[in-house]
Amino acid sequence: MELNNLTNTPGARHRRKRVGRGCGSGMGKTSTRGHKGQAARKGHKHKLTFEGGQMPLVRRLPKRGFNNAAFNVKALAVNVGDLEKKFENGAEITVETLAKAGFHDNKKPKIKILAAGELTKKFTVKVPCSGAARSKIEKAGGSVV
């Protein structure tokens, strides 16, 4: 392939629509601007929120409240059933060992262990747990620090 062989893919380029060139073109007379009015005049530009001088909807509605969605930090959920599969009996579970096992992705700074799944192995857990997960871990003979 060379520079003189390059072509555009079909549909990549369009001809400019020539408005106002006679009624036979389908875009004649008012040139797609409608009839009279401010928008039909040349040099007409207005903001997206402009409503002809009427108080715009954006300004009519009250601005109140606070949205915490941008700052809300979700915890990375790890189930006890997943710990059963990935770790040996008697393992110590910390943030570092979870990261090495492939649970932690550094995008979510919080980690919480949840109770879904069965647990038979003993673990020493040094990560926040739900109440049900804590009871499952202790029932299996492990401990939560």
- pLDDT averaged per 10 residues in sequence order, the chain, 145 residues: 91 91 91 88 85 92 86 84 86 84 74 86 87 87 84
Q: Which fold has domain 76-144?
A: Ribosomal Protein L15; Chain: K; domain 2 (3.100.10)
pTM: 0.50
pLDDT number for residue 35? 93
In contact, 142 and 134? CB cutoff 8 Å: no
Where exactly are the structural domains of the chain? 76-144
Cβ neighbours, 10 Å, residue 143: 13
